[in-house]
Structure 1
Amino acid sequence: MPRPSLKDQRSEEILDAYLTCVARFGLEGATQERIAAEAGVKRPLLRHYLGNRDQMIAALTQHVVDTFNASTSSLATALADAGNAEDIVAVLFADDAPNDPRLLLAWQGLSISASENPGMRADLLDSLERFLTVLSDTLNRIVPGANPARVRAVAQGISSSFVTLDSLSPLSPPAGWRQELKQAALLLARTLEGSA
């Protein structure tokens, strides 16, 4: 009886190592040597499991986008019961939220290199648009009649506060910054309450 293939499992492990390397060193700094060392495999196996450099970048982009989209779907489910601005902010900035800072850092690393890899641009923008749509839809439901342009601007502002947390993670910012960003998002969300 033949042994089961470990290709899918090994590919996921290598993609996870690639994600870590891009989060730490950027796309250009995520060399095959670093990825192989992080994954605990020999460098030639990277090509076996993920292909050449362009195929590796495409696989990582798809992995990041899929993971980001899954997180956005989970967020939409969590926000389904939100009844006010406090609920939205509580969900986004929960201390036990399963955020993986590597994901956003890799997303940023990929977006920086989108000019050299234009095929990834649409997928990255689409994943961000989905996130903004979830926030906008929730805000529209909570504050019916609010100006759509203001709702979108508030969603952008809340999103910016939210992603700043992960963007700053390599700096190990003071713990108080998390509370300040949470407060900023709450203040911004409350501006819609009097505008409807």
Structure 2
Amino acid sequence: MARPSVADERTKQIVEATIRTIGTNGITGASLDRIAEEAGMSRGHVRHFVGNREELLRASARSFYYDGAEGTSILPAGTDSVASALDHLFGDEFAAPGRENAVVLGFVEAARSDPALAELIVDAYRGTHELLARLIAVEHPDADADACASTAYGIVAIALHNVFLSDIVSVATGTASARATAERLLAALP
């Protein structure tokens, strides 16, 4: 088996440092200098391996959202039922406040001025809606495709609303209510 190239290893190291830096300092605090320091490299090495800041943010978002596989979703690999999707979206790990939320918000903020980054993020969430709609269709075969799609969209919107508010309000009370609301959406389907 071939050993990964030094360039690939360094790029991965820089991307991981970028994600950590955004999580700690927000997107505006994620300067190339700060990322280089977190990666244990010079700013010149960061630029050599990943290019400018926009290219670095795109590579980092690709790693964060896709984990190397295009066309995936924010749901874990192997999610094969609506219940397992809800367990993830309203589970302790996903709903807990923390650095991962800061990373997502940072990418969203940066995407406002970078259409390529925006497309990466939208694709990840679109993939989530599509996967959840397919799972709902299997469990609700009498529901039409539009109803499954809009229910999936609603569930993801509720989960994201809950996650982002969890940074500023108690996750303990909000998550149970958010999941119950998502379950009511599902119960309304034939």
CA distance in 2, matches of 1:93, 1:156: 15
Deviation string, structure 1 residues 97-150 (Cα, Å, up to 9, x no partner): 7x9965554344223333421222322222211110011011111111213333
TM score, norm. by length of structure 1: 0.74
CA distance in 2, matches of 1:102, 1:71: 22
Calculate percent identity across the aligned residue pairs: 23
Partner residue in 2 for 1:72: 73
CA distance in 2, matches of 1:104, 1:70: 21
Tell me by how many angstroms 1:96 deviates: 6.3
Partner residue in 2 for 1:9: 9
CA distance in 2, matches of 1:106, 1:91: 18
Where does 1:90-105 land on structure 2 (aligned, <5 Å)? 90-95=87-92, 102=99, 105=102
CA distance in 1, matches of 2:162, 2:70: 19
Partner residue in 2 for 1:44: 44
TM score, norm. by length of structure 2: 0.75
2:151 and 2:186 in contact (8 A); partners too: yes
Q: CA RMSD in A?
A: 3.3
Tell me by how many angstroms 1:176 deviates: 2.8
SS of the aligned residue for 2:111 comes to coil
Aligned AA (1:182):
R
Aligned AA (2:79):
A
Aligned AA (1:57):
L
Any gaps of 5 or more consecutive residues in structure 1?
Answer: none
Partner residue in 1 for 2:132: 135
Any gaps of 5 or more consecutive residues in structure 2?
Answer: none
